[in-house]
Structure 1
Amino acid sequence: MTAPSKPGPQTLPRQSATFDRHTIAEINRAAATGIYDIRGGGAKRKLPHFDDLLFLGASISRYPLEGYRERCDTKVTLGGRLAKKPIELKIPVTIAGMSFGALSGQAKEALGRGATLAGTSTTTGDGGMTEEERGHSATLIYQYLPSRYGMNPNDLRRADAIEIVIGQGAKPGGGGMLLGQKISERVAKMRDLPEGIDQRSACRHPDWTGPDDLEIKIEELREITGWQKPIFVKVGASRPYYDIALAVKAGADVVVLDGMQGGTAATQDVFIENVGLPILAAIRPAVQALQDLGMHRKVQLIVSGGIRSGADMAKALAMGADAVAIGTAALIALGDNNPAWEEEYQKLGTTSGAYDDWHEGRDPAGITTQDPALAARLDPIVGGRRLANFLSVMTLEAQAIARACGKSHLHNLEPEDLVALTMEAAAMARIPLAGTDWYPGKAGF
């Protein structure tokens, strides 16, 4: 009779880096349902971002400004190229387009209130103009999208600027979705859709097949509005040099560049995670296009896609942008993903920090919903104050950084004020790797 063998050292199961738990769960879900995943929000994968850049504060070679005694201006003018009435903003951060339908009426009102308190603009998004937003927005930009939902000449004239949306960072080349449970009677009437039926927005304008048609469309919109309103053109980041150059040649007053970290109300998860460019890789080619055309600072560049703080804003401006736009951060400022609703988020099978099922219309915070009971949870006055506070903090943060770099205006920040922490960020942003004067691809190396 042999003695029992001694147990050897235990080895832990090893998960595959390629087939991790999330990937396996997605394969099983797809196999069980035959339906691709739809969600809101932005890319969740790790991407090079503004965190990979640092500012070089002033010392001996540069002279810093005293924060309590020396000014650092923040004003920005948008649309002065051809429009008779350009937009004057107190701060270079705006609220990106988010539709009524994706958001509740209370949320649209709160965005308008907060933007007005902060001295900046908000944007309609798809689906038309609501009285809540127009009534509380001192400056309102009207988005003109492929779907034409809610579009009418009267509202174009009531807006302070018009933004032609060619693409969005989360889904360049693709359209959005609005599920039937969010198409209430009011949403259906505004969009001329059947109530309660899923809709998919078009991915391209029905009367636009190239840059020449865009030029004609811009001319039409100028005629409708008496050449008063600035015309913005928004593109998702994919081929930024050529897209920005063509938008400028077509006659845009302002160009908006949206990176893939930007959110969306709803689209395919495979789109959000696998299509487009990080905003860090898109800014410098866009600026180069403007410079090559002699239009940098004459045609303003607004960048968006994962802007979260004054530091992000300052870095985008240093790279050549005139302003930034926030969407997801604005919703969080209103109260979305608030841990106060954690118990209800968990009932939905998620958590406050991960909630992105905005398209389902069950948002406990009352922001991305058309359910009257849920929407009533958001107080537009309180939400507006929260947003204004956040915009104020963003601006103060950016001013503190600019002063530390010796700059008396946020627009005086420049690429030479930045260094990169990683090779990827250095290559994408064309910013020298920290401790060197080199970045991958630099001419002469």
Structure 2
Amino acid sequence: MVTKKIQMFIPEQEYREIKSEGWTRPHGVGIIGTYLRQKGYDVEVFSGVSGTSHREMLGQVGADVVGCTTTIGNYVQALKIVRQAKKVNPNCLTILGGPEATQLYGEVLTNRGTNSRDYCVDVVVCGDGVKTAYELVSGKEWESIPNLAFLSNRELITTPRLREDKNNWPLIDNTFFDMGRVLSTYGRKFEGLTPFRKATSIMSQYGCNSHHCKFCGRTDRQWFGRDTKEVWQEIKELVEIYGAEMLFDFSDSFVQRPEYAEQFLRDKPTDLNPSFRFFARADQLNPQIVQLLKKLGTYEVYIGFESGDQQMLDNMAKGITTEQNLYAAKLLGDFEIKILGSFVLGAPGETKKSLENTVTHAEQIQEVSNGRLEQCLCSVWMPLPGSWGFRQIQKEFSGQDILDLEELKQTWVRKMCDVQYNELSDYVNKVLESSGAPLTDVKGIKN
């Protein structure tokens, strides 16, 4: 009989409130927790993106195994959780996974591993971690488990990276969460900005076909599409049991493989009609694809326009043109699909002239889409660990696992741009204002 108690956490973002926080499901720890529960373990899942506060999490820490998903925004919070786990139970096995720990596993184990003054991390899961987590908690020899990094006699050991077959992963067990609270948070948080009262997230695909953007720090760059009928099964549960009216698919670009999107439409149950928000690249939208999105019931498409200056788009290796941005916006406007557009300021060689071009571009997007640019986001380039951008400034942060976001951005701008950081910050506001759709009045509701 299995007696181990396991707790999985995805902590809150420390630095800022993210727009999806409070109403989404944690697809990583949610799937891992479900898989372990199906194997007979006593599992709890705590999710900051689903509305659980850091204080609530700390008060619940206490298990034989504690695992945390890490991002650049929640890493410090994750360390607090695993420290607490070791304090409550010194024999607790503590595991970190997620993009931050995956990209900086050496720094993590040097600063937080068994030989450090702040020992709180036993092992890092790098990349896919569902079956890996099961093999860890079941007591298998670590050297024989893929996707691990750990210390052995002061030596850093890494095991081979393997991609798991995600069609063998279970659907998330939604009973881990207060789904009534999770779904209703969306309507309260975006009151006045959305017609939907209840919404949450799904993920139909993993990875990215493009994988060349210089600001991208993703760990999984190979595309994988889940079985479309299984995705619809998941949607059916969210709609019929929990009352979801809108689903936000977190796939990098829903239409990056047109044949997958076409199969998804063919498998759509005739009696199931939720609305959707999808990510998409501007260069992947054409009349046939946008018509397909309309048939699916797409309410909004999230597009990274990034810049209105062609040289900056080239410098960030986005692989699109300003003309493609405008064409995509016009197509979505013609089909009466709303747009959530985002821009990144601070590409290598950014100048005042290129920034002014982006301000103008945001206005043009609103105009050609017939006012369908409903929400606009804009931020300064963040050199995420694992990205080309981070490698350009990595020497200045050598050996560090705790990275200050503002320091990262300011260092990047100082070394890579022809404008000052405060000027970029001013232009963030100018882009938002020129778009006519700044996403600034979202309510800070998590529960």
Is the structural similarity TM-score above 0.5? no
Structure showing greater radius of gyration is 1
Judging by fraction of residues, say which structure has more helix: 2
TM-score when normalising by structure 1:
0.35
TM-score when normalising by structure 2:
0.34
With a CA cutoff of 8 Å and minimum separation of 6, indicate the structure with the bigger relative contact order.
1
